[in-house]
Structure 1
Amino acid sequence: MKKSVIALSVLFVAFGASANVTYHEPNAQYEANLNEFGAGVKNWEEARLVPLTLADSHLYHYHAVISAPTEKMPMKLVGGLDVSKIMIDDLIPNRKISLYDVMRDRASMQNYVVMNKKGEILAEDYWNGTDKNTKNHLMSAHKSFTSMALFIAQEEGFLKLSDPAGKYVTEFKGRKFENIPLQNFADMTTGIIDLPANRPDYHWGSYGAGTTGSWDSSMPSVVGYSGLVRNDDGDLVPPADALGNLETFSDYLTEFVKHVEPKYPAGEVYEYKDINTEILGVAITRSSGLTLSEFFDKYLWSKGGFNSEATMYVNQAKESAASGSLNVTVRDFAIGSFLMVNDGKNWKGEQVLPKAYVDAVKNGDDGVKQAWPKVSYEHMLFENAFYKDQWRTATHPVTGRKISMMVGVNGQFSAFDHVTGNIVAISGAYREPSGLGMMKLYLLDTIFTIFDTLAVQQAK
């Protein structure tokens, strides 16, 4: 048994803490309640279960709590948008349905916030037992927050996006990944296509991006995504998975490079693989000496005007997935986009995110635009789009409206309109991961419709 694991296995008993981050055990009663529906920490992300499991999901995980900031962006509900009055074409020809009914019933949205560029709330609703204090699991929309942290780390002098990954990821030494710049990991243009095999019963199977899904089952397991177990010595460790008994993310990376090599030269193709984001997380934590939750607290959460606590799943070594462990309120989800529409500044006008980062997300570059359609299935869902710095930017094929967005697999969206600066944040519980149906309900029917409606209202 590794000494580091022995020492750290007691932290959840002692609730060890740093500054504004504390670490906590699961709530046993919450998981027991979920078990009555066949849900729990081992299978919580199954599509059929997400209406039960995505709200306050940190409570049945080992998790870090990032304290609510002392200085909060004022939240003012001014109204002015009623989604029940917006009528869109129904499935039956010549019939209309309200956007409210589409959002709540057909799309299984749990809650949403619509905000203008000034940060005023124009509309919000909370369904399925949620409220403004509910922490919603962001799934892969977490990636965009990790990207914010990455560029803050560059501004603080911890790293450079031009640095080769091997400078921080020593497990890449002597491998083809070693000299790929961090920027390619941020753009998901590293050439990673195939992944290690999943455990036989893994419920996502091969569904998702490319040929092997967006991550293999061992990767989330090792960072606490599926809970922790006691080994024969009584120490907390991740459960065994397809790659064996791995205890830290370093263990995972050591195994990963035995199974995977880039299939294309760096920069040539876009392919959505979560390991890209995890390498960014490793660069942040190893260059700063902070855990991911601690870095978020010190450099992003405490400065961005966020209103509430945030949480991240953790393993016994306080490691968190950089690509999908964050839980936040939907209002704070919207504030993430508020920073983007205000050129990286918070509500007080203080620069939190580099403006160059915001511009890169909005405008992309020739490299990411050329890489978008070559391998990934996503260009078939939305042709006129690109992926830059862990954000997707898309242009509506008819109206020409351009938006950028954070996206999670079950309908977690925080999107902003490039022209008006309006924001739509949605915590979804869509029962099919990604795909054409989700794009139709969430992106085309809801987000673009709301932006179009507001643009007309605000132009009067």
Structure 2
Amino acid sequence: MKTMLKWLLRIVLALALAVLVVGIWKREEIQRLMAVNSLFSEENIVHNFSHMDEAFLTVSLPRGSGPTWELPYGPGFDLPQGLDQWIEDRAVTSLLVMQGGEIRFEEYYLGTGPDDRRISWSVAKSYLSALFGILMAEGVISSLDDPVVNYAPELTGSAYETATIRNVLNMASGVTFDEDYLDYNSDINQMGRVLALGGEMDDFAASLQDSFTTPGETWQYVSIDTHVIGMVIRGATGRNVAELLSEKIIQPLGLERDGYYITDGAGVAFVLGGLNFTTRDFARFGQLILQDGARDGDQVVPAEWLRESTWPSAPTKTGKIGYGYQWWVPVGAHEGEFMARGIYGQYLYFDQPRGILIATTGADRKFREPGVSDQNVEMFRKIAQSL
């Protein structure tokens, strides 16, 4: 009996030691996974969205050595009725309104401040679209109608094998991908765990095998399509996206702070949602786009590409929100009205004829409720009309 007890004790101690060793060895991965599992909790979400580097691997996006692009303050204006309630209801963390290159309104909420580098979520998709347009103009990518596997051969045999670059830019790849953020087992949440545990996004994209329709026929928002655009860029240039974005867009902007990208375990940028900048630095990118891609006489992003990419070319349903090449076009939009949009209330809203840009960040856990997106657009339009 004593011999058996000693034997069992040795087994228990050995198992405890093994758990301790694994815990130390995988400590960072475990900590990141725990952080991801509580990323959107009510008590943590505002803090987390300003400190994404505590939950994920990251790579710096240096601002460069050039002077900061000064954003002067213009006169105030009468804010539209209902704005305060909207800010509270939508858990807005920052709101910055620009017109004619001047800041007309800037405020921060829920304990955030102007130095906070906030997560972009899918606003990052529109940055990638701008970068893609630069590379197209440089001739490193032949045609939008090239199959993605021409540049990303590792996708051969996957659901992306017959998709073209245009298909993935339009979110019309036809690839089956569950984007339900509230379902723990959805594809989008599985992808988040791949990131947290240091897995590789390329492998995740290549593992997708199912399609629900022929590429190009139906629009369905599939965030992994944007990762495929990043794979095409890397395959075409032989360089990583973080370096290219920093060189061709970030440094010419004259940001006030370095930004950073979330990355996977291979150091590949999380291009579909992983940018982190201050609100004013998001606004600097927005102002560049508002000015047809030009700053101080330098054409950073081709104007023709911006006109094409912000046009609602995707096969969306009639009467519903439109989509271009990683840009949104609101229902009933006039010419020059479009948006970059991310989950939980991240927006860059453009009204080009009025010279207006609105940048918002948020922690809106009710962003998926019916009518919320329409309410946001309505408020942006009210603000624009108040100027």
Normalised by the size of structure 2, how large is the TM-score?
0.84
- Aligned residues of 1:50 and 1:430 also touching (Cα < 8 A): no
In the TM superposition, what are the counterparts of 1:76-225 in structure 2 within 5 Å?
Answer: 76-83=72-79, 86-88=80-82, 99-103=83-87, 105-117=88-100, 119-160=101-142, 161-175=144-158, 177-195=160-178, 204-205=182-183, 215-222=187-194, 224=195
- Aligned residues of 1:411 and 1:434 also touching (Cα < 8 A): no
Residue aligning to 2:287: 338
Which digits, 9 at most, give the CA deviation of each residue in 1:46-74, with x for residues without a partner?
56742332123224322111112333311
Task: Give the SS at the match of 1:436.
Answer: coil
In the TM superposition, what are the counterparts of 1:191-340 in structure 2 within 5 Å?
Answer: 191-195=174-178, 204-205=182-183, 215-222=187-194, 224=195, 226=196, 228=197, 238=198, 247-257=199-209, 260=210, 262-340=211-289
Residue aligning to 1:350: 298
Residue aligning to 2:316: 372
- Aligned residues of 1:372 and 1:387 also touching (Cα < 8 A): yes
- Aligned residues of 1:394 and 1:402 also touching (Cα < 8 A): no
- 1:420 matched to 2:364: no
Alignment CA distance shift 1:138-1:442 (3 Å): same
Alignment CA distance shift 1:194-1:323 (3 Å): closer
- Aligned residues of 1:48 and 1:431 also touching (Cα < 8 A): no
Residue aligning to 2:321: 385
Q: Which has the larger radius of gyration?
A: 2
By how many angstroms is 1:440 displaced? 4.2
Alignment CA distance shift 1:254-1:191 (3 Å): closer
Distance 1:58 1:283 in 2: 26
Distance 2:84 2:297 in 1: 34
Distance 2:372 2:342 in 1: 11
Distance 2:51 2:238 in 1: 28
Alignment CA distance shift 1:410-1:47 (3 Å): farther
By how many angstroms is 1:174 displaced? 4.3
Out of 352-361 and 400-409, give the one that drifted further.
400-409
Distance 1:274 1:48 in 2: 27
**One-letter code of the match for 1:205?**
D
Percent identity over the alignment is 22
Residue aligning to 1:10: none
**One-letter code of the match for 2:154?**
E
Distance 2:302 2:386 in 1: 31
Alignment CA distance shift 1:173-1:102 (3 Å): closer
Alignment CA distance shift 1:401-1:352 (3 Å): closer
Residue aligning to 1:92: none
By how many angstroms is 1:203 displaced? 6.3
**One-letter code of the match for 2:365?**
R
Which digits, 9 at most, give the CA deviation of each residue in 1:8-41, with x for residues without a partner?
xxxxxxxxxxxxxxxxx98x9xx89xx9xxx723
**One-letter code of the match for 2:288?**
L
Residue of structure 2 aligned with 1:394, choices 330, 334, 338: 330
By how many angstroms is 1:110 displaced? 0.3
By how many angstroms is 1:175 displaced? 4.9
For structure 2, the residue ranges without an aligned partner over 5 or more in a row are: 1-26
**One-letter code of the match for 1:429?**
A
Distance 2:131 2:256 in 1: 18
The RMSD of aligned alpha carbons is 2.8
Distance 1:361 1:253 in 2: 24
For structure 1, the residue ranges without an aligned partner over 5 or more in a row are: 1-24, 89-98, 207-211, 229-237, 239-246, 374-378, 455-460
Residue aligning to 1:13: none
Distance 1:203 1:188 in 2: 18
Task: Give the SS at the match of 2:161.
Answer: helix
Alignment CA distance shift 1:125-1:276 (3 Å): same
Which digits, 9 at most, give the CA deviation of each residue in 1:256-315, with x for residues without a partner?
23xx2x322222111000111010011112222222221211111012333321111123
- Number of residues of Structure 1 aligned to a counterpart in Structure 2: 358
Alignment CA distance shift 1:47-1:359 (3 Å): farther
Distance 1:437 1:430 in 2: 13
Alignment CA distance shift 1:295-1:452 (3 Å): same
Alignment CA distance shift 1:79-1:276 (3 Å): same
Residue aligning to 1:62: 57
- Aligned residues of 2:118 and 2:279 also touching (Cα < 8 A): yes
Residue of structure 2 aligned with 1:443, choices 377, 382, 387: 377
Normalised by the size of structure 1, how large is the TM-score?
0.71
Alignment CA distance shift 1:122-1:406 (3 Å): same
- Aligned residues of 2:205 and 2:228 also touching (Cα < 8 A): no
**One-letter code of the match for 1:438?**
V
Could you say which structure has the higher helix fraction? 2
- 1:361 matched to 2:309: yes
Task: Give the SS at the match of 1:340.
Answer: helix
Residue aligning to 2:17: none
- Aligned residues of 2:158 and 2:208 also touching (Cα < 8 A): no
By how many angstroms is 1:192 displaced? 2.1
**One-letter code of the match for 1:250?**
D
By how many angstroms is 1:424 displaced? 0.3
Task: Give the SS at the match of 1:51.
Answer: helix
Distance 1:54 1:63 in 2: 14
